[in-house]
Structure 1
Amino acid sequence: MGTHRRPRQRVTGGGRARTAATITLAGAATATGLGGTGHADPQPTAAQVRAKVDKLYQQAEVATEKYNGAKEKAAAAEQRMEKLRDQAARKEDRLNSAREALGSVAAAQYRSGGLDPAVQLMLSADPDRYLDGAAFVERAGSRQTAAVGRVRKELRDIERLRGAARVELASLTSRRAELKRHRETVTGKLETARRLLSRLTAEERARLGQGTGDRASRSSADDRQPLSAPSAPSAQAPNSRAAAAVAYAYRKLGSPYVWGATGPNAFDCSGLTQAAYRAAGVSLPRTTYAQIDAGRRVARSELLPGDLVFFYSGISHVGIYVGKGQMIHAPNPSAPVRVAPVDQMPFAGAARVV
């Protein structure tokens, strides 16, 4: 029989060394791109940056309009709350007068030889206690009954007004929290857009129409309607108020875009249209999604100067039509109030407010 040799045992340490070397080589291949998965993401082109920035501006404008709506509702809640507080203060003055009348009755009774115990209770620090006591009313004379009725009414009115004021305060607190959320969304989107634009050269920004927001940065549409001709609308407005709104918009060409602004020196999109019609003596709501319902809807083919034109599915942008397919609008923080084609953005509808 042949001699059986014992198999030679492998050196464990050498195996670990070879494994480590394999991992190291694999890592090196990955790092140098040999594995096909280690390439860094390519830098976005100027056009890709523009597309991202446009999307950010659109998202910021949606949040801006929500901010504008919340701000309007907060202001209304604050006004209602102040009105309720004023009414409560006047009621408290009348309550004091009614209690003084009861005091006069009590003084007369005291001079005549005795103070009705019920009147003493009436003048106590806790007047609510006697209001539910029918025995007091039965014992009191007609003069006291009338005074008690006045006190009862004023107390109930004051409590109702205070309750309504508490409701308005809760609404105001909620609106302010909503304002803060929308403000943070807007500023976050705009800051991200600013950082993206900062990666481009000045030449790239100018070529893409994404300048720093100065008045010299205009699109080719602006060249067709120069800023130096504010009194020359493209077509005749249908009435004097529409003409006044269009003329105001022309006068504001070149004004900076500032989110939440309603003029006279800076605007967001709905702030510009609201200010234009305010100058014409017409009151418009603050937000795009409210302005579209402020007048009669018109088809795109029926547009006349002064009509409001709206864009995107969420009705997040608005301009004022000036004729020949052109509008004046406040685009975004990178561009001032300008003339632009209506077909520059996804058309959502139009409204004629006068």
Structure 2
Amino acid sequence: MAHNRKRVGATALGLTAIAAIAFVPATPAQAEPSIKDVKARVDRLYHEAEAAQERLHDARIDLTDLRRDLAGLKADQARQDERLDEVRDQVSDAVVRQLEGEGITTVGQVVVSDDPGAFLDTLSTMSAFNDLQSSMLADYDTQLEALEIRREATDSRAKEIAELTEQLSTESETVDDKLAEAKDLLGDLEAEERKRLLSSRSVTRMPASVPASGRAAAAIAYAMAQVGDAYVYGAAGENAFDCSGLTMRAWAQAGVSLPHSSTAQFSSGTRIAASELQPGDLVFYYSPISHVGMYIGNGQIVDAANPGTGVRIAGLYSMPYVGAVRPG
């Protein structure tokens, strides 16, 4: 009897297993994205947009430098033109004098001259003068050719930067589209999950005070006063910033001029080891560098993070840390 009950139980288990297999769908249903997946995707897209914006800042700095170089070249060209006009006038006068004396041979002029020695000295001086004119013209031609080559190179570079600017604009538009997608996806989540997502971002509480003095204190005071302001790509105040825009404006309060670019700011001061960080130092993230914040002590930074977070307080190592610089 016990043996029969075991056989019946085994049969029932087998039928249950078969039924379970029968009801397994041939193609698994598409799983809804988790709150973690959405957060990761949105953060990734925010950073892609920021990296593109920082590259655009670099391109604008390069273009400004190139335009300044070109202005200098044009000034050199104007000076060379004036010099050439002077040379042309001198050569023209020499030709006129030669034409006025045509028909009198050099030997004849020596014979009829009251002072043949003085005339020969004059002739020698004129020959040297003509050689000087030739030398000046040759020098000018050489310099003019060099200037033309430089100008063509500058124009070519300016064209490249214009193309890069257009490319970055297109890239930013693409990232914006992706951000809109991610936000739509976020909008499809339940209200409670959206709340969890927004509250899960790494934001640290505002410190009561930051120990700093001198210029660093002025920079920190400005940056801390912007906590809670919006993040806008390319902005540098008054009520919205991107990462390098915030640090640029903050250190401007201390009389230190920084470029509007995280990459350029990394080259705008003394490199500092993480163990030597002091409040006010600039800290940089990602490789290649595409984000900058300001150290405020106790393992914390203030930075313009992204459009979802704005200007915040965060941990020093909340992003992939690259290095630090002390401005001024």
Q: Please indicate, yes or no, whether the TM-score normalized by the shorter chain is above 0.5.
A: yes
Aligned to 1:48: 37
Among all aligned residue pairs of Structure 1 and Structure 2, give the percentage whose two residues are the same amino acid: 35
Corresponding residue for residue 244 of structure 1: 218
> Compared with structure 1, are the counterparts of its residues 220 and 289 closer, same or farther at alpha carbon in structure 2 (3 Å cutoff)?
closer
CA contact 2:203–2:313 (8 Å) conserved in 1: no
Asked whether 1:71 is paired with 2:45, we answer no
The answer for the alignment partner of 2:325 in structure 1 is: 351
The CA distance in 2 between the partners of 1:256 and 1:104, in whole Å, is 71
Q: Is the 8 A contact 1:311 1:318 kept in 2?
A: yes
Number of positions where the alignment pairs a residue of Structure 1 with one of Structure 2: 285
Q: CA, structure 1 residues 265+145, in 2 after alignment: closer, same or farther (shift >3 Å)?
A: farther
Task: Give the match's secondary structure for 1:209.
Answer: helix
Structure 2 Cα separation of the partners of residues 302 and 177 of structure 1: 41
Which residue number corresponds to residue 307 of structure 2? Answer: 333
> Within the alignment, does 1:96 sit opposite 2:85 as a pair?
yes
* Residue-by-residue CA offset, 1:200-236 (whole Å, 9 max, x unaligned): 34955554238xxxxxxx9753xx33xxxxxx97322
Higher helix share: 2
1:21 maps to none
Separation in structure 1 between the aligned mates of residue 208 and residue 65 of structure 2, nearest angstrom:
36
**After the TM superposition, which residues 314-329 of structure 1 pair with which residues of structure 2 at under 5 Å, given as runs?**
314-329=288-303
Gaps of 5+ in 1: 1-32, 116-137, 211-217, 226-231
CA distance in 1, matches of 2:273, 2:133: 65
From the superposition, tell whether residues 264 and 90 of structure 1 become closer, same or farther in structure 2 (CA, over 3 Å).
Answer: farther
Give the structure 1 partner of residue 283 of structure 2.
309
CA deviation map 1:243-298 (0-9, x unaligned):
12112213433443232334455432122212322332223354334433443443
Rounded Cα–Cα distance in structure 2 between residues aligned with 1:233 and 1:80: 48
Q: How many Å apart are 1:90 and its aligned residue? A: 2.1
Cα distance, 1:241 vs structure 2? 1.6
Aligned with 1:196 (options 174, 178, 182): 182
Which residue number in structure 2 is paired with residue 156 of structure 1? 142
Q: Which runs of 5+ in 2 are unaligned?
A: 1-22, 105-123
Letter in 2 for 1:42: A
Q: Which moved more, 1:275-284 or 1:322-331?
A: 275-284
The aligned counterpart of 2:69 is: 80
- Contact 1:233–1:323 under 8 Å retained in 2: no
Residue 245 of structure 2 corresponds to which residue in structure 1? 271
**What is the rounded CA distance, in whole Å, between the counterparts of 2:153 and 2:287 in structure 1?**
34
C-alpha contact 1:88 1:162 (8 A) present in aligned 2? no
Report the CA distance shift for 1:114/1:281 in structure 2 as closer, same or farther (over 3 A). farther
Distance 1:295 1:42, change over 3 A: same
- Do residues 172 (structure 1) and 161 (structure 2) align? no
How far apart, CA to CA, are the structure 2 residues paired with 1:165 and 1:206?
Answer: 57
**Cα distance, 1:53 vs. partner?**
0.6
Gap change, CA 1:297 and 1:145, over 3 Å in 2: closer
The correspondence for 1:298, drawn from 255, 272, 294, is 272
Whether the 8 Å contact between 1:233 and 1:322 is mirrored in structure 2 is no
CA RMSD across the alignment: 3.3
Gap change, CA 1:111 and 1:220, over 3 Å in 2: same
Structure 2 partner of 1:234: 209
The one-letter amino acid paired with 1:333 is P
Residue 329 of structure 1 deviates from its aligned partner by 0.9
